[in-house]
Amino acid sequence: MELTLYKVKQNNYSRGESSMTKVKLIEKMLLGGEWINKSETINVFNPETNQVIGTVPKGTSEDMKRAIQSTKEAKEKNDILPVHQRIDILQKASNLVDERSESFAKIIALEGVKTITEARAEVDRTARILQMSAEEARRINGKTISFDQVPGSENREGYYKYYPVGIIGAITAFNDPLNLVAHKVGPALAAGNYVIVKPTSKTPFSALHLADVLLEAGLPSNMLSIIIGGGSEIGEPLVNSPDIGMIAFTGGFKTGETIANQGGVTKFQMELGSNSPVIVAKDAKLKQAVSNSVSGAFAASGQNCNGVQRIYIHESIFEKYTEQFVEQTKQLTVGEKLSEDTDMGPLISEEAAQRIDSWVKEAKEAGADIQCGGERDAAYYFPTVLTNVPDGCKIVNEEVFGPVVSLFPVANFKEAIKKANGVNYGLQAGVFTQDIDKAHEAIDQLVVGGVIINDSSDYRIDAMPFGGRKGSGIGREGIKYAVETMSEKKVVSFNLAK
């Protein structure tokens, strides 16, 4: 169907006049190499207006089982795609995403939570992910082993080499609807795997259009399926199938825990979100610490796994930092996603905004002060800064996944590290300091997957191993590291006659 997209100019917390552009959506799902329709469908809503923008087929348990069986048969028949073909396909797909960047960006912005500016950045990143996946396909090399390091093995020589895991089950979330799929599909194909993707039914169109690009680039159609539906309906047969060699999941902690319990002895890579801290030492460059942390807290309306949620500031600069942080937060433009002037769009649903509102109200009733924000309009929640939040509040201990940040004064650096470690999450942490000793103290003592010095927790490139500790997940993303995880080492040893 054709959709009307809007590009508007607006002021803070307001909406304005519109001009129109059109884009075409794929309203089918890809099952075992075939684009199919179903009589039962799922409505996809624009969270900004709560209007239906399109429909997709509603997959069933039988559809998922059929996709698994079809993929298994294709894998057994076709074996492993040669490396040169993987490189060629991924490179062509990268080029096609780049060529159609504006169309992809509008789809992301329409079905999801990102502004058009944020969506364009996501598309650019997706093209790079596919390019990097092509490059890593070239680098899947084994290594010789010195067997003669053990007495009695002097006449042995050998090596190990990599083989694909087989079939990867990928389950993705709404906040990066194109990028999260590319992060799983790109490395999986680079390693020679077959892939079945279950994107969230809230934002399925980005995944479907990426699949279309991969097929156009030459990917054998039976190597990729996109099945859309509820977690209990189609997620369980995917996770429980003995034919699935690995589950790659991005989503919430509770869902990840359920998947792990269901999957049994299966290979997992999970990114389960966070409650990311930032530490601001008394010697920090204040302007940098404020600006980077505001950006890190409110990008994608705070619906970002490594977004800033808690900030621990040395008490000697707390008042000045808070004043500047609140002032910059108030400058953010909240409004329609397709406006070039918008900094922050809506939450994924009105229910999500209501949940966040209830958490803020709980904190306020417990004694917290709202420095700015704390207001909801349908699915919008305005950027909110809290101080004096008691330790027991949900907003401190759980992942808010929204545009709310809490500021705390601390007496010293050790107290900041202790409080930063005080939740059951550990994805990334930001640390602002000019003291190299303090930087290394944080690096050594913060229980997280990444420590970002003089930037917010929200910094990431796809060439780094990205993942968390504690409730933030299992394993690491990042193209090179995902390719390794989605491969299996096989040892070869020759006993040579002498």
* Terminal-to-terminal C-alpha distance of the chain: 72
Q: What is the pLDDT of residue 121?
A: 97
Question: Which residues, in sequence order, are CB contacts of 210 under 8 Å at separation 6+?
Answer: 93, 97, 126, 178, 181, 182, 185
Provide the pLDDT confidence category of residue 78 given band limits of 50, 70 and 90. Answer: confident
Beta bridge partners of 224: 195
Residues 141-196 pLDDT 10s: 999 999 999 999 999 999 999 999 999 999 999 999 999 999 999 999 999 999 99
Checking if the pLDDT of 1 tops 90, the result is no
Q: Which domains does the chain have, with CATH numbers?
A: 2-272+476-488 (3.40.605.10), 276-461 (3.40.309.10)
Task: Say which of 305, 336, 393, 399 is annotated catalytic.
Answer: 305
- Beta bridge partner(s), residue 44: 54
Indicate which residue of 118, 136, 271, 350 is catalytic.
271
Question: If we measure between CA atoms, which residue out of 90, 85, 4 comes closest to residue 48?
Answer: 4
pLDDT in tens, 24-49: 899 999 998 899 999 999 999 999 99
What integer pLDDT is reported at residue 266 of this predicted model? 86
Contact indicator for 162, 142 with CB cutoff of 8 Å: yes
Position 4 pLDDT exceeds 80? no
pLDDT digits (tens, 9 = 90+) for 326-374: 999 999 999 999 999 999 999 999 999 999 999 999 999 999 999 999 9
pLDDT band at 5 (very low <50, low <70, confident <90, very high): very low
Chain-wide mean pLDDT for the chain? 93
pLDDT band at 21 (very low <50, low <70, confident <90, very high): low
Give the C-alpha separation, 137 to 128, whole Å: 14
Share of the chain above pLDDT 90, in %: 90
Axis crossing angle, helix 436-445 with helix 413-420, rounded to the nearest 10: 30
Task: Give CB contacts under 8 A, 24+ apart, made by 317-323.
Answer: 317/280, 317/282, 317/284, 317/286, 318/407, 318/409, 320/286, 321/280, 321/286, 321/289, 321/290, 321/407, 322/371, 322/385, 322/387, 322/407
Does pTM surpass 0.85? Answer: yes
Helix (H, G, I), strand (E, B) or coil at 46: strand
- Reply yes or no on whether 484 is catalytic: no
Q: What is the pLDDT of residue 263?
A: 76
In percent, the amount of the chain with pLDDT more than 70 equals 96
Of 426, 42, 28, the closest CA to residue 230 belongs to 42
Known catalytic residue: 305? yes
Q: Is the dihedral of CA 47, 50, 56, 62 positive or negative?
A: positive
Place 19 in a pLDDT band, splitting at 50, 70 and 90: very low
